[in-house]
């Protein structure tokens, strides 16, 4: 196995799942275990100024090998895994020389199949890593960590390679939208950065959704069904009515590219009380605001129908489309495109992120931060997999990008 695979499998063995129902950062203490390991590893390979904050952020510096008036560039990845599917214990399985057929996931009934994911045919003859069907794999974003770590180690071991100062960082809680709540942008010291948190080899992104979280509380009135006429108010049914008043086809399973949605992530309740958790997404700020306005209109309608206070909501913006902050710095994409071309990708695939990255919020905090591929697919579930050759190429990509910044003049 190559070093990047070695590192990835080690990181994948850590349970780092974040949790969206806490009010602390990091949301789970177990993320510290991987953070401590990464801090020690950075120190062992010779990265300078390594630190880990009390909020689980790991930072380090790769010193410049040339004197140049160039920007300081950063690379970031997140340590946590999605709470949408179990991540422990992760038992990766390696498929060498993939033949284009179905891949059985461990001892489960689940099969990773090109009939469901036709793009798998692109990987015939290459080597893939999956989980065993019981957990997600964790390539999102432990693959990004492994790739950054290999880049750092290579540059430290090859001081003859000319480059400016490079910063690296690993963050907690990205999957629940709090990845940079306590990130020290000024202390990090980068002028620009890239998150390594994307998908297939050859892709990069600079557009994300505008995002909001929505929590809906429906208050009913439980009366014995034998004497409920004109008295019972069933919160579950009112909650269903709320959901049905949102556009039927503005849901993830019906949308793609720049199309936004309302997504009911989970729901729990009974006659007396029901709680629903949504995420709201759109690339257009105007449509995003219209979506939130529609929610308020639905709440007002149901309260008028069933009584004031029947439906209450908590709606908060999570992050905004980073395109606004990247467009003045499109040279970041140009540099990455040059590096891709040198590695055989003449035209990188640039698509909108149907989600968010730490880079979205960092861009709004003054650190323009587009996103690069890791080589993975099907994140947040049992069908997640990653291509080993793509991981190895991504390491080369990061090294090339780091070198190219020595020729960029600092403003």
Would you list the DSSP string of 35-83?
HHHHHHHHHHHT-EEEEE-TTS-EEEEE--SS------EEEEEE--B-T
Tell me the pLDDT tens digit for each residue of 264-310.
999 999 999 999 999 999 999 999 999 999 999 999 999 999 999 99
Mean pLDDT of 248-274: 94
Cross-sheet strand order for the sheet of 210-219? 261-269, 273-282, 210-219, 311-319
Mean pLDDT of 344-368: 91
Residue corresponding to tokens 């490079």: 166
pLDDT at 1: 55
pLDDT at 355: 78
Whether the CB-CB separation of 151 and 393 falls below 8 Å is answered with no
Which of these is catalytic: 127, 141, 147, 174? 174
Residue 90, pLDDT > 70, answer yes
pLDDT at 299: 98
Mean pLDDT of 245-262: 94
Apex 403 CA angle, 50 and 8, nearest 5:
55
Tell me the pLDDT tens digit for each residue of 175-210.
988 889 999 999 999 999 999 999 999 999 999 999
Mean pLDDT of 98-108: 97
pLDDT at 204: 96
Whether the CB-CB separation of 348 and 198 falls below 8 Å is answered with no
pLDDT band at 227 (very low <50, low <70, confident <90, very high): confident
Residue 17, pLDDT > 90, answer yes
pLDDT band at 20 (very low <50, low <70, confident <90, very high): confident
Mean pLDDT of 338-351: 96
pLDDT band at 8 (very low <50, low <70, confident <90, very high): very high
Residue 344, pLDDT > 80, answer yes
Mean pLDDT of 364-379: 96
Residue 399, pLDDT > 60, answer yes
- Lowest-pLDDT range, 105-109, 153-157, 221-225? 221-225
Mean pLDDT of the chain: 95
Q: Is 102 annotated in the active site?
A: no
pLDDT at 393: 98
Structural domains of the chain in order of their starting residue, each with its CATH number: 3-208+321-407 (3.40.630.10), 210-318 (3.30.70.360)
Tell me the pLDDT tens digit for each residue of 66-82.
998 999 999 999 999 99
Q: Is 399 helix (H, G, I), strand (E, B) or coil?
A: helix
Q: Is 174 annotated in the active site?
A: yes
Q: Is 220 helix (H, G, I), strand (E, B) or coil?
A: coil
Which of these is catalytic: 80, 173, 197, 358? 80
Please state, in angstroms and rounded to a whole number, the distance separating the CA atoms of residues 84 and 383.
13
Residue 25: which residues within 8 A CB-CB, separation 6 or more?
Answer: 55, 56, 172, 173, 178, 181, 182
Tell me the pLDDT tens digit for each residue of 139-151.
999 999 999 999 9
Mean pLDDT of 52-77: 96
Of 356 and 71, the structure prediction assigns the larger pLDDT to: 71
Tell me the pLDDT tens digit for each residue of 110-141.
999 999 999 999 999 999 999 999 999 999 99
Strand partners of residue 269 = 274
């Amino acid at each position: 196995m190559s070093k990047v695979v070695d590192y990835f499998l080690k990181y994948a063995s850590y349970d780092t799942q974040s949790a969206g129902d806490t009010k602390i950062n990091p949301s789970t203490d177990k993320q510290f275990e991987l953070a401590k390991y990464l801090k020690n590893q950075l120190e062992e390979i010779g990265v300078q100024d390594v630190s880990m904050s009390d909020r689980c952020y790991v930072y380090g510096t790769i010193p410049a090998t040339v004197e140049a008036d160039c920007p300081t560039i950063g690379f970031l990845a997140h340590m946590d895994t999605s709470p949408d599917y179990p991540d422990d214990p992760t038992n990766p399985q390696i498929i060498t020389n993939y033949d284009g057929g179905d891949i059985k996931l461990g001892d489960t009934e689940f099969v990773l199949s090109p009939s469901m994911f036709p793009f798998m045919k692109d990987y015939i003859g290459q080597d893939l890593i999956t989980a065993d069907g019981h957990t997600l794999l964790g390539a999102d974003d432990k693959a990004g960590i492994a790739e950054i770590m290999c880049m750092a180690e290579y540059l430290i071991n090859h001081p003859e390679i000319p480059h400016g100062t490079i910063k690296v960082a690993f963050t907690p809680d990205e999957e629940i939208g709090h990845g940079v709540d306590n990130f020290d942008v000024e202390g990090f010291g980068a002028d620009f950065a890239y998150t390594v948190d994307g998908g297939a080899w050859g892709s990069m992104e600079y557009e994300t959704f505008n995002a909001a979280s929505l929590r809906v509380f429906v208050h009913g009135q439980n009366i014995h069904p034998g004497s409920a006429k004109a008295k019972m108010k069933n919160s579950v049914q009112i909650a269903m009515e709320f959901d049905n008043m949102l556009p039927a086809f503005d849901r993830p399973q019906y949308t793609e590219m720049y199309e936004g949605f309302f997504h009911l992530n989970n729901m729990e309740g009974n006659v007396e009380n029901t709680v629903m958790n949504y995420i709201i997404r759109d690339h257009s700020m105007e449509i995003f605001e219209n979506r939130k306005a529609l929610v308020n209109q639905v709440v007002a309608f149901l309260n008028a129908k069933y009584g004031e206070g029947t439906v209450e909501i908590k709606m908060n913006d999570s992050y905004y489309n980073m395109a606004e902050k990247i467009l003045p710095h499109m040279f970041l994409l140009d540099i990455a495109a040059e590096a891709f071309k040198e590695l055989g990708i003449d035209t990188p695939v640039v698509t909108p992120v149907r989600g968010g990255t730490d880079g979205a919020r960092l861009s709004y905090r003054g650190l323009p931060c587009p996103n690069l591929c890791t080589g993975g697919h099907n994140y947040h579930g049992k069908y997640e997999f990653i291509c080993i050759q793509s991981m190895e190429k991504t390491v080369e990509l990061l090294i090339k990008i780091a070198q190219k910044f020595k020729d960029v003049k600092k403003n």
